[in-house]
Amino acid sequence: MGRIIHVELTAADPEKAAVFYAEAFGWKAEPSPFIGGYLVAETGTGDGIDGAIMSRDYQEQPAIAWLQVDDLDATLSAVVAAGGTTAGEVQEIPGVGRVTYVHDPEGTLLGLRQ
């Protein structure tokens, strides 16, 4: 469907940014067991989505919305047909699923997860 399920915030210093979000908003960030410089953040209980704070060494865009899709390969074809572009290889993250990035026609980076 393409529903927003996750958001990544990039930072020059992810640990420092995590302290800010913890103190300002009560987020709880933990290092990812799979990716260095990537902190998985619980943003609270109830309605809403969780996120992550990651090093700008991975991506420079300040915030990246992640969309849940039913069929990653079909969605990648639809992105290209609609004027977007792929932005990296499809990766498998254990316990999470298949993931990749794409750009919309204006250059906005989006994450896709199946």
Q: The pTM is what?
A: 0.84
> What is the torsional sign of CA 75, 77, 79, 81?
negative
For 3-36, what is each residue's pLDDT tens digit? 899 999 999 999 999 999 999 888 999 999 998 9
For residues 45 and 89, give the distance between their C-alpha atoms in angstroms, rounded to a whole number. Answer: 33
pLDDT score for 81: 95
**How far apart are alpha carbons 29 and 40 in whole angstroms?**
5
C-alpha to C-alpha distance for 38 and 5, rounded to whole angstroms: 17
| CATH number for the domain whose boundaries are 3-113 | 3.10.180.10
Residue 81: C-alpha distances to residues 37, 76, 104, 110 (Å): 33, 9, 11, 16
